[in-house]
Amino acid sequence: MSTTERPLPTPAHTIGPFYGHALPFPGGGEIAPPGHPDTITLHGHVLDGAGAPVPDALLDFWQAAPDGSLSGAPGSLRRDPSTGGFLGRNGVDFTGFGRVATDADGRYALRTLPPGNAGVPYIAVCVFARGLTHHLFTRAYLADGTDPLLDALPDERRATLIASAGAPRTYRFDIRLQGEGETVFLEFP
């Protein structure tokens, strides 16, 4: 395939308010096989510039498998061919992909297995919302440590990317779209 022809990118747009019957799917926040003893929970609020919860955000998550693999697996949205309904993940393959819409209180929760990426473990997050014209990328780091991105940030900004450990195997990661404590959002040039 020739790479001489370089098309210009399709612009992004807001997800709007009406994706609720289209994008969220049952089990979207359950990447971990049911009952797996290594399951961790990542949870938090999405907040706007006034500190108010954002009840109509959609979060996509992507992460390495526990063994570090970044190849993923199909089956996050596994379907029943006869009814068209959702069957849930098969409980064997680790798809690495999750999707959660925030609730009326602006909260989300993701149950998954610990990511095994090189360096400090993290879960990649893509934020969509009504009013957000172009999605935002961030990372939920599950620990602090030496990392090229974290080390380039001043302390108070660095802290916005590090999920706080609460109850055992539970991590809190709030996303502040604007204002005090604004989350560090990323670009990939």
Partner 1 sequence: MALTQAEIDAEIKDHQDAYDKAVAGGAPVRHHPARDYPPYRSSRLRHPKLPLVAVSGGDPETVELSGPVFGVTDITEIDNDLTLQHRGEPIGERITVSGRLLDRAGRPVRGQLIEIWQANAAGRYAHLREQHPAPLDPNFTGVGRTLTDDQGRYAFTTVKPGPYPWGNHTNAWRPAHIHFSVFGTAFTQRLVTQMYFPGDPLFPHDPILRSVTDEAARARLVAAYDHDLSRPEFSLGYAWDIVLDGPSATWIEEGR
| Binding positions for Fe ion, rule: CB under 5 A | 16
Query: Which residue's C-beta sits nearest to Fe ion?
Result: 16
**Is 149 a binder of partner 1 (CB under 8 A)?**
yes
Q: At its nearest, how many Å lie between partner 1 and the CB of residue 52?
A: 8
**Is 49 a binder of partner 1 (CB under 8 A)?**
yes
Q: At its nearest, how many Å lie between partner 1 and the CB of residue 61?
A: 9
Indicate left, alpha or beta for 96 from its phi (over 0: left) and psi (-120 to 50: alpha). left
- Identity (one letter) of the amino acid at 149? L
Distance CA 21, CA 11 (A): 24
Residue matched to tokens 């969509």: 128
**Is 156 a binder of partner 1 (CB under 8 A)?**
no
**Is 171 a binder of partner 1 (CB under 8 A)?**
no
Q: Are 101 and 53 in contact (CB under 8 A)?
A: no
Whichever of 170 and 182 has its CB closer to partner 1, that residue is 182
Q: At its nearest, how many Å lie between partner 1 and the CB of residue 162?
A: 14
**Is 2 a binder of partner 1 (CB under 8 A)?**
yes
Residue of the chain from 35, 148, 155, 168 that contacts partner 1 (CB under 8 A): 148
**Is 187 a binder of partner 1 (CB under 8 A)?**
yes
Distance CA 101, CA 33 (A): 20
Number of alpha carbons in the 13 Å side-chain half-sphere of residue 46: 25
Token duo for residue 93: 């393959």
Residue matched to tokens 């502040």: 176
